[in-house]
Structures are given as C-alpha cells and as structure tokens.
Structure 1
Amino acid sequence: MILGGFLFISVSVGGIFAWIVSKLFQQTTQGLSLLCGGFLVGLLALDIIPSALQIYQTSGILLGALIGYLLFQLLHQLAYLTTAHAPSLYLLTIALLLHTIPLSMTLGNTLDNSSFGVSITASTILHHLPEGFALTTALLSQGKQLWGLLLVFITLSVCFTLFIWLGHSINLTNQAQSILLGISICLLAVTSLFEFIFQHRRALPLVSFSTYILMGYLLSTLFHILV
C-alpha cells in the first residue's frame, strides 16, 4: 500500500506539471492533443521500447503488439459506439495499466533483495511521472474535468500494489510479461498516432502542427533526462 501511495504521488506530480503546461497553451484542445501525442511518441522511443527490448523477449513483444493492435481496433469501435467522446483517454489508461503489470510483477519478485528492491522501486515510481503528465494532457485535450483523473490515478495505484503482491507470490514467466508489454506498447503507439496526432493533421497549419508535436517530444526528452 505504501508503494501504491508513492505511485499516486508520482502520477499526481506529473499531472500538476501537465496542468501548468496547459495553462501556457491556454488549453487549446488541438494543441494539447498534439502535445500529448508527441510526448507519448518520445516516451516510447526514448524509454519504453529500448527498455523492453533490453529486458524482455522480442518474440513475446511482437506477439503482444499484434494482439494490442487487434485490441485497439475492437476497443476503438466499441468506444465510438458507446460514447460521443473520442476514446483516447480510455485506450491510454488501458495501455498504461498493462504497462504497469510487468513492471510491478518484477518489483514484487525483487522485494526480498533489499538493495536491488530499493533501487528498482525508486526508478519505477519516478517512471510514472511522465505517465501522469500524459494522462492529464489527454484529459485536458478532450475538455474534461480534472476530477476524473483522481479515479484513474487511484486505479493505477491500486493495480500497481496488487500486481506487486502477485509478483511476490507467483512467478509470471518472462514470455508472458513480454506479451503484456507488447500489448501496452502497441496501444500506446496507435493511440498516440491515430487519436492524438493524425486526427488533428488538418485542424492546424503544418508549422503549428509540427511545432506542437516537437514540443511534446522535447518535453518527453526532458522527463527522460530528469528521471
């Protein structure tokens, strides 16, 4: 529960930073959406994909990516049938939740190793700062109220705690973790490209369109350097 509380603080700090950035952009919905898309692309390119390829099995990641794409198509259709809002926030939440599972399971497996456990716990908690930023930016880009983030952040924290406990109790194979991470990577990639970027390619001039994406990528680079 303590670790879940730290994660909640981490994503909340990321969310506060996103709110500050949104004020600088005067909450322009297209701009915030492109900013979020560029940020997610940077998060994938600089952090998530290199780490995944280094630690997990490539075959499992590719299989997970295929499953993730099929899942995206299904959720995409269901979300548009059941709500008038774009499904971006729901898809992003699912992707980040799946991304949390192998990380928290790994953390649970290392709890008995005090020195390594402290190190990986600190890095995992800090790793969720950009996730809080991405979720908050996605919500603001759709013009929704910030109170809804509280439920999302609590859900992530509870799931993080639950899968740490499961990781400490059972041993999830590397192949299974690789598949989960592949699903997460694919959902993050297609959501950032199709929901946050391509959807607005004609809404703004090319220069503004490119600038927002580049600024999001640079913000992701800043997070990568700091955490």
Structure 2
Amino acid sequence: MKVSAIILGGFLFFSVSFGGGIAWLVSKLFQNSTAALSLLCGGFLIGLLALDIIPSALKMYKSIGIILGVLFGYLFFLVLRNLFHPSADNNPSVYLLMLAILIHTIPLSMTIGSLMESSIVGITITASVILHHLPEGFALTTAFLSQRKGTCKLIFCFLSLSICFSLFIWIGHYVNLSTKEQGVLMGISIGLIAATSISEFILHNVKIVPVKFFITYIVMGYLLSTLFHLLL
C-alpha cells in the first residue's frame, strides 16, 4: 500500500512537471510578458473549471454540497488574500492557486486510496493520475512565470503536491469521506480557483494591456484549456 501510494505520487510529479514544461514552451511565445501570462493563466483556469472540474463535480456530488463549498471557498479566498496581500500587491498569488489545486486533489486521492487493493483498477488509476494533472502543472507553471518566481520554488510546490497526494491516498485507505463531505471539498476548490483566476489573474490586468490584447490573451488561455480537454 505505501509503495503504491508513493509510486502514484511520483506519477503525479511527472504529470505536473510535464504540464509545466508545456507552459514554459508556451511562455516563450509571449516573451515572458507578466500581464500576458497572467491573463493566459486566468483564461486557462476558467476553461479548466467550465470544461472539466465543474461538470465532473456535478456528476459525482450533490449540488447543495458543491454550492456550500463554493461559498466557503470564496470566504476562504477573501481571508487568504488579505493575508497574502497586506499592502495591496498587484501580483497574483500562486500560493492561493496551489492551495486550491491541493484541495482539489483530496477527494480524488482518498477515493484512490479506498480502491488501491483492487488490482483491476490499478492501470486505470495510474493513467488517470498521469493525464489528469497535466493541466494543473500547466496552470501552476504559468502562474509562477507570470509572477517571476524561481524554478526551485515551483519544483518545491510540485514535490509538496505529490507528497500530499500520496499522503491522502494512504489516509483514504483507512478513512472514508462521505459524498457530501467530498462535494464540499470540491466546492471549496472550485470557489478558490474561480476567485483566484478572476480576481488575481484577470482583473488585476484590466488596465495594464489594451482591451484587444486583454480579450485575446484570455481567449487563448481558454482555447488552450479546451485543447487539453479534447486531448485528455
């Protein structure tokens, strides 16, 4: 069990790193422009929510739990934003996004933990882990590049995400969350990602670039998310 959880954590690290590599290549097209990368990330996250996370959550969990979680997530975002931006800093907070993605992985990892002893689902789970987290790696890396954070910090975030993923797989082997509790966690993740993408990555750049480019960068981010959705 422990070995399997660690291996899956390794697959997650590979997945987000590969997604990060794609983001690095895309950033070269934008010549590492801070505003452009922020808007690209914002559009990508909106697409990720609309095409993948929200539809999947609505299929798996009850709407009331998701809505309650979204409200908690937004309130949580307001509190964390005040902590991360005590001086009204205009840079988007990658740590809010990191936290949102971490919370997003908890229901999935605990579900995997409950299924780990079934050899039938092993290959399916491994493939899911590898593919499912490519977009998260892309989004995190774009956010880090837009805020000009160091590569070491990005790798540390990837490692932390992988370790937490393995940890919650192990916890899920012994503890079962109810469907309502999983729905609330997923709602919190949705609320945090939505608030962060709109407030921190998009609205902060409204006056920085011309309207034409503002819309173009967001649409390009959304289209990239659509491409990930179609390919994965």
TM-score, normalization by structure 1: 0.96
Residue equivalent to 2:180: 175
TM-score, normalization by structure 2: 0.94
| RMSD of equivalent CA atoms | 1.4
**Cα distance in 2 between the residues matched to 1:83 and 1:128:** 31
Q: Which amino acid aligns with 1:136?
A: T
**Cα distance in 2 between the residues matched to 1:84 and 1:38:** 21
Deviation at 1:95, TM superposition (A): 0.1
Contact 2:15 2:129 in 1 (8 A): no
2:12 pairs with one of 1, 7, 11? 7
Q: Report the identity percentage.
A: 60
**Cα distance in 2 between the residues matched to 1:114 and 1:107:** 12
Residue equivalent to 1:199: 204
**Cα distance in 2 between the residues matched to 1:189 and 1:83:** 20
Residue equivalent to 2:148: 143
The yes-or-no answer on 1:128 pairing with 2:133 is yes
Residue equivalent to 2:229: 224
The yes-or-no answer on 1:208 pairing with 2:213 is yes
The yes-or-no answer on 1:161 pairing with 2:161 is no
Residue equivalent to 1:27: 32
Instruction: After TM superposition, list the pairs within 5 Å mapping 1:60-71 onto structure 2.
Output: 60-71=65-76
**Cα distance in 1 between the residues matched to 2:141 and 2:231:** 19
2:192 pairs with one of 181, 187, 193? 187
Deviation at 1:138, TM superposition (A): 0.3
> How many residues of Structure 1 are paired with residues of Structure 2 in the alignment?
227
Residue equivalent to 2:82: 77
SS for the counterpart of 1:202 is coil
Contact 2:11 2:126 in 1 (8 A): no
The yes-or-no answer on 1:51 pairing with 2:56 is yes
Q: Which moved more, 1:8-17 or 1:74-83?
A: 74-83
Q: Which moved more, 1:106-115 or 1:72-81?
A: 106-115
- Residues 114-151 of structure 1 show CA distances to partners (whole Å, capped at 9, x for unaligned) of 22343133113311001000000001101222221111
Deviation at 1:83, TM superposition (A): 9.1
Contact 1:80 1:87 in 2 (8 A): no
Deviation at 1:174, TM superposition (A): 1.0
Deviation at 1:85, TM superposition (A): 6.8
Q: Which moved more, 1:38-47 or 1:75-84?
A: 75-84
Residue equivalent to 1:105: 110
Q: What are the ranges of 5 or more consecutive residues in structure 2 without an aligned counterpart? A: 1-5
